[in-house]
Structure 1
């Protein structure tokens, strides 16, 4: 167990969400189902936003912040136990979206916001890299955009509409959750 003053996220919390999603008939076309999946994603992004904020406020040092991010990442990216394959794939989509959030937070804590370009430029570079099937570079650029979002820059979601659907759009979706979380780190209530 970590010795941090507050636990930012717990395996129980994640599992509660997974159980709820598992219990419901998830239909991505249905608004309440879509919201449940988004809440799952936002809830994790909020935990990450709080860790980064605690780091920025010197409540956590660099090593502690990176450990906390790693803890949340381990919980959220572990394989979920859901019988329904379609539901499992939807949760997998949320996990994919969040990968970029974790890496962005780690990079931000490790070396601060990227300074070479704007959020949109990085997203564009990520899309170009994905088109060339260089997924490591694509994720790197998307994460760089994420460090800027953590630093307070805006992600213009209209850029997402111009992207070909793929991993970069998933990651941008995660960054959108991160942006919401940075501006309003209120906990998503599990019973909403």
Structure 2
């Protein structure tokens, strides 16, 4: 086992995305604006997926993989300074979506995929927990769904239509980015 073969994600990369957001007129209803936010989220999810893949391939040991996840989490989930309140809320949504992806990666590295149930089962259980105001349990279920994605299961996004808007919907959005990253782990060009 060695040190990480390369830097998976940098503060500079995250800040470049944020600078683009600061410079552009953002309208969440506009396809180009929505794509920029999705690329910001997918870019971080790709880095997380690569860490787990390198862990599975023996490029990273458990400690190095967990440390690298923590380093990236500190970058991506740190407080963001935006004058524009709407942009701040949009970035907060991206960060919220990624919380679940980080937890899923850590859980997968620590113990592998959950033993029973499907991705959709766990998402439905998370939605039920959220309906009972139990956000911690909801997050745990979403993270377990994520471990199954790392193990190769698919995410049927039809389940998203069943969910009330809230934390679970945000986390499922993050899991969708993770599923995309695992299917096509190509780095997103910051100029896209």
Which TM class, normalised by the smaller chain length?
Answer: over 0.9
**Cα-to-partner distance string for 1:128-153 (whole Å, 9 max, x where unaligned):** 00000000000000000000001110
Structure 1: state its 5+ residue gaps. none
In structure 2, the partner of 1:61 is: 61
In structure 2, the partner of 1:101 is: 101
CA RMSD after TM alignment? 1.0
In structure 1, the partner of 2:51 is: 51
Matches within 5 A, 1:7-156: 7-156=7-156
What is the distance in 2 between the residues matched to 1:172 and 1:143?
10
Q: How far did 1:157 drift?
A: 0.1
In structure 1, the partner of 2:168 is: 168
Structure 2: state its 5+ residue gaps. none
What is the distance in 2 between the residues matched to 1:139 and 1:113?
15
The answer as to whether partners of 2:4 and 2:59 remain within 8 angstroms in 1 is: no
Moved over 6 A (4+): none
TM-score of the superposition, structure 2-length normalised? 0.98
The answer as to whether partners of 2:154 and 2:179 remain within 8 angstroms in 1 is: yes
Q: Count the aligned residue pairs.
A: 191
**Cα-to-partner distance string for 1:55-78 (whole Å, 9 max, x where unaligned):** 000000000000011111000000
What is the distance in 1 between the residues matched to 2:160 and 2:99?
17
Q: How far did 1:187 drift?
A: 0.5
What is the distance in 2 between the residues matched to 1:24 and 1:88?
13
Q: How far did 1:5 drift?
A: 2.2
What is the distance in 2 between the residues matched to 1:15 and 1:87?
14
TM-score of the superposition, structure 1-length normalised? 0.98
**Cα-to-partner distance string for 1:77-117 (whole Å, 9 max, x where unaligned):** 00111110000000000000000000000000011001121
